[in-house]
Amino acid sequence: MAKKTDFLIIGSGIAGFSLALKVAKLGKVTIVTKKRAVDANTTLAQGGIACVLAEDDSFELHIADTLKVGDGLAQEDVVSLVVCQAPDRIKELLDLGVPFTRDTKDPSKLHLTLEGGHSRRRIVHVEDHTGREVEQVLLSYARKHPNIEILENHLAVDLITLCKVYRGCPREVLGHERCLGAYVLNAQTNEIETFLAKVTVLATGGAGKVYLYTSNADVASGDGIALAYRAGCRVANLEFVQFHPTCLYHPKAKNFLISEALRGEGAILLDPFGKPFMHKYDPEKKELAPRDIVARAIDFELKKTGKECVYLDISHKPKDFIIKRFPYIYETCLKLGIDITREPIPVVPAAHYFCGGIVTDRFGLTDIKGLYALGECTCTGFHGANRLASNSLLEGLAFAHQAAVHLKKEWPLYQKFEPPAVPDWDPGGAVDMEEKVLISHNWDAIRRLMWNYVGIVRTEQRLRLAQKRLNSILEEIEAHYWDYILTSDFIELRNLAHVAKLVIECAIRRKESRGTHFMVEYPQKNDALFRKDTILWRARES
């Protein structure tokens, strides 16, 4: 029997929780999240939230910095929309109780730090674990709200649309496609449940697990992007994958990011022989160059030397300052035998952030009525070809607010909608998969393929080979999709494969180098042909 709600939010990060708290007064909100509610990329965000607060700063400067890093594809009207509401969004978090770090000289003000690509200190933070604190505060309010239900260990399988219900798009549906909810796997009962909603929201985060090395949480398998694309939404700019330059390189460290804020406070990158090298790649900004430049510089140094890592050194700073400013990083490294107050930190680049995703308007609306998308799974026009540091949490907050404004206005119309009868999930003659190794093998194969062939530096030949191999893996997955009873691993594998395919397709189409996308054969930008979004749309292709 279908479970009905007013708002179905898929995902439990900053965007999903922010929207839930803003629309809960309108009706019942159901949040489904595939692991624990705190298992989101938001929790891992260390740096902070970009916000103009200093006297020597301005919205115009923040907008200019964002547009510059976006490398010709960020949309100025969207950038202005987000940047100008940052102070209001920070005030909302302060009112909820987020303990942002205060300025030691003037505790009435928030401490602001500097990160790569920013021309001023404007990063609001909670020491070096901002995301964790924001997530905990939002989660605590959501758990206490009488109109919000949080269902952990629930993984969305596919969206339910009118076309899916009518098994095609007959004339009465064509042009009026609508999202009705989603089929969701309850991992505790292994049953697929039907959720019907007036409004469905995708807030599933990124897809870092598409790559072998990533700073992302294990849940980041691109579910929202895959769900939306299969349902008929446009996706765009998936070739622009940001690789964070400095993830901790240690056999016992998993997905641990060394925040860009260290470089903002004076940390220096050293080659494997202990020599600084960033002056060779960006003589002016050096360590504070945008992430794509720093990541490619490290990649080049590693390939040139044949070594496995470079080093980030902040040991020249006072010990007390390091421990107070970066307590989480200090404690984590110390447990692994690295004293960052006395020695450099071994680091490598890792897949960090998807600048592209589901195409939305300025209110988070997708191509399908009743379906919104927020946060990293989207392509809003805010980031363009590369993301400015600490703009990601800001985007999640801003577009949650935008969606809430739109939903409050349109809610009387949404309330009137009554969905048609929706059949429960029919597994047919599916049986349990006996060879679980097929899932683990393909999962590993995709991630290695993407890292080696579709990574920081790309070539046409490697992309074509990756496309051929990925298509073969995807065909195998789809061929067996209805043969076996679905599990979380199988669903994630399918989503991972679909997103990898889309990344490769976008990368092949962009025959230039721009932002985070670097092609050996086309090392320069080509504004005449490619200063535009790369858009993929299943509806048009079929």
Q: Which residues of 22-45 are buried (b: 16+ CB within 10 A; e: fewer)?
A: bbbebbbbbbbbbbebbbbbbbbb
Q: What is the residue range of 451's domain? A: 437-541
Same domain for 84 and 212, yes or no, is yes
- pLDDT (tens digit per residue) in 282-332: 999 999 998 889 999 999 999 899 999 999 999 999 999 999 999 999 999
* Angle at which helices 86-96 and 130-144 cross, to 10°: 60
Domain boundary among 317, 349, 381: 349
Same domain for 59 and 140, yes or no, is yes
Please give the radius of gyration of the chain, using alpha carbons only, rounded to the nearest integer.
Answer: 23
Question: What is the pairing mode between strands 191-202 and 268-270?
Answer: unpaired
Same domain for 149 and 225, yes or no, is yes
pLDDT band (50, 70, 90) for residue 200: very high
For the chain, what's the residue count?
542
List Cβ neighbours of 472 (8 Å cut-off, separation of 6 or more): none
Total domains present in the chain:
3
Give the residue from 408, 422, 429, 540 showing the smallest Cα distance to 184.
422
Same domain for 343 and 365, yes or no, is no
Q: Judge whether 120 counts as a catalytic residue.
A: no
Q: Which two tokens stand for residue 309?
A: 């890592």
424 is a domain residue: no
Contact 119, 61 (CB under 8 A): yes
Contact 281, 293 (CB under 8 A): yes
Same domain for 30 and 149, yes or no, is yes
* Angle at which helices 392-416 and 86-96 cross, to 10°: 80
The yes-or-no verdict on residue 169 having pLDDT over 70 is no
75 is a domain residue: yes
pLDDT band (50, 70, 90) for residue 496: very high
535 is a domain residue: yes
| CATH number for the domain harbouring residue 296 | 3.90.700.10
Q: Which two tokens stand for residue 367?
A: 């191509």
- Secondary structure of residue 88 in the 3-state scheme: helix
Active-site option among 291, 362, 462, 510: 291
Strands (E), 135-290: 148-151, 154-161, 179-186, 191-202, 234-236, 241-248, 268-270
Same domain for 253 and 290, yes or no, is yes
For residue 254, the model assigns a pLDDT of 78
Least confident residue range of 171-185, 305-319, 506-520: 171-185
Question: What is the pairing mode between strands 310-313 and 268-270?
Answer: antiparallel
Q: Which helix (H) or strand (E) covers residue 269, if one does?
A: strand 268-270
426 is a domain residue: no
For residue 542, the model assigns a pLDDT of 40
428 is a domain residue: no
Same domain for 24 and 131, yes or no, is yes
Burial class (CB within 10 angstroms; exposed 0-12, middle 13-18, buried 19+) of 392: buried
Domain boundary among 328, 349, 370: 349
CB atoms within 10 A of CB 509: 13
Instruction: Tell me the C-alpha distance between 517 and 514, whole Å.
Output: 5
Give the residue from 479, 480, 469, 477 showing the smallest Cα distance to 494.
477
Same domain for 410 and 455, yes or no, is no
CB atoms within 10 A of CB 524: 9
- pLDDT (tens digit per residue) in 34-73: 999 999 999 999 889 999 999 999 999 999 999 999 999 9
Same domain for 47 and 151, yes or no, is yes
- Distance between start and end Cα atoms, the chain: 33
Same domain for 466 and 364, yes or no, is no
Question: What is the pairing mode between strands 123-124 and 191-202?
Answer: unpaired
Contact 489, 438 (CB under 8 A): no
Strands (E), 162-255: 179-186, 191-202, 234-236, 241-248
Instruction: Tell me the C-alpha distance between 478 and 486, whole Å.
Output: 12
Secondary structure (H, E, C), 13-35: CHHHHHHHHHHCCCCCEEEECCC
Give the residue from 373, 14, 39, 407 showing the smallest Cα distance to 227.
373
Least confident residue range of 231-235, 403-407, 425-429: 425-429
Contact 227, 371 (CB under 8 A): no
Same domain for 128 and 210, yes or no, is yes
Identity of the amino acid at 254: K
Identity of the amino acid at 253: A
Question: What is the pairing mode between strands 29-32 and 3-10?
Answer: parallel
The yes-or-no verdict on residue 178 having pLDDT over 90 is yes
Q: How many CA atoms lie within 13 A of 7 on its CB side?
A: 30
337 is a domain residue: yes
423 is a domain residue: no
- pLDDT (tens digit per residue) in 70-98: 999 999 999 999 999 999 999 999 999 99
Q: How many CA atoms lie within 13 A of 233 on its CB side?
A: 34
429 is a domain residue: no
For residue 171, the model assigns a pLDDT of 52
Percent of all residues in the chain with a pLDDT value above 90, rounded to a whole number: 87
Give the residue from 128, 329, 342 showing the smallest Cα distance to 247.
329
Cα angle 56-58-60, degrees, rounded to a multiple of 5: 140
Least confident residue range of 166-170, 262-266, 497-501: 166-170
The model scores a pTM over 0.85: yes
For residue 158, the model assigns a pLDDT of 97
Contact 350, 250 (CB under 8 A): no
Instruction: Tell me the C-alpha distance between 496 and 479, whole Å.
Output: 16
Same domain for 378 and 443, yes or no, is no
| CATH number for the domain harbouring residue 32 | 3.50.50.60
Instruction: Tell me the C-alpha distance between 97 and 90, whole Å.
Output: 11
